[in-house]
């Protein structure tokens, strides 16, 4: 077996983290993307920029601020302590919260594009057919934006799997709790265990390629149809 028990634990943890993060991202990202797609508010530019910040900031910057705000003296940290939850840094939950921020643009942007592409008309049609706003959202918007949701989920998942800096800053390196595949590879390399590193790193390359391949070929397929 080329993969050690620690490697397998890291893979399992990574998949758990990415799955949970993706679900939360869709829940949080959908209303943000909807608002960005439909609003005429002057705040649109500012909110859009904030959502996109993780695209350009070094993960350490994001990690640093998250660490501060979620730490015992930060506002979020005080809140979680008040609620009897302790503090989030160096826990799996903290890692999930950080990942949601970190991968947010990868979910919001495809959703926003999908919502914008639908346009006003189908919503108006639905309203003339007696569908209220929520009804319209679930029966018209979600089905029409399905490719956007799929893209958003895939990108959110893949990007969370591939994060490193934020994990290290927020999660540290605790086996079974916060040690993801990316961190595990770092450990292997540090310990000069290149063979072990190869297996995990190669696996990541393959995984990422397959994800992107699936994404790009389905896009081309769709473009060919319309």
Nearest Cα to Cα of residue 106 among 43, 181, 25: 25
State the minimum distance, in angstroms, from the CB of residue 130 to another protein: 4
Contact residues: another protein, CB under 8 A: 121-122, 124-132, 135, 139-140, 143-144
Residue closer to another protein (CB basis): 48 or 122: 122
Residue closer to another protein (CB basis): 12 or 222: 222
State the minimum distance, in angstroms, from the CB of residue 38 to another protein: 15
Distance CA(223)–CA(218), nearest Å, equals 9
State the minimum distance, in angstroms, from the CB of residue 153 to another protein: 19
Residue closer to another protein (CB basis): 40 or 121: 121
State the minimum distance, in angstroms, from the CB of residue 136 to another protein: 8
Nearest Cα to Cα of residue 95 among 190, 182, 206: 182
Distance CA(74)–CA(187), nearest Å, equals 30
State the minimum distance, in angstroms, from the CB of residue 151 to another protein: 17
**132 alpha-carbon distance from chain centroid:** 30
Residue closer to another protein (CB basis): 96 or 141: 141
Nearest Cα to Cα of residue 114 among 79, 149, 166: 149
Tell me the helices (H) and strands (E) count for the chain, helix number first. 12, 0
Residue closer to another protein (CB basis): 52 or 123: 123
């Amino acid at each position: 077996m080329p993969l050690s028990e620690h490697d397998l634990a890291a893979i399992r943890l990574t998949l758990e983290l990415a799955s949970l993060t993706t679900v939360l991202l869709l829940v949080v990202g959908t209303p943000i993307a909807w608002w960005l797609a439909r609003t005429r508010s002057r705040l649109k530019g500012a909110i859009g920029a904030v959502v996109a910040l993780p695209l350009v900031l070094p993960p350490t910057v994001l990690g640093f601020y998250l660490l501060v705000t979620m730490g015992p003296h930060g506002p979020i940290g005080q809140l979680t302590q008040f609620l009897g939850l302790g503090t989030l840094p160096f826990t799996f939950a903290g890692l999930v919260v950080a990942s949601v921020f970190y991968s947010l643009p990868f979910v919001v942007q495809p959703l926003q594009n999908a919502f914008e592409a639908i346009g006003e008309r189908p919503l108006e049609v639905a309203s003339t057919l007696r569908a209220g706003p929520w009804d319209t959202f679930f029966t018209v918007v979600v089905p029409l934006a399905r490719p956007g949701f799929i893209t958003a989920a895939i990108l959110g998942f893949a990007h969370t799997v591939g994060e490193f800096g934020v994990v290290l800053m927020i999660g540290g390196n605790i086996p079974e709790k916060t040690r993801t595949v990316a961190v595990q590879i770092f450990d292997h390399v540090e310990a000069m265990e290149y063979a072990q590193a190869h297996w995990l790193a190669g696996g990541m390359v393959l995984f990422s390629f397959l994800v992107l391949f699936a994404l790009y070929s389905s896009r081309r397929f769709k473009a060919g149809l319309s």
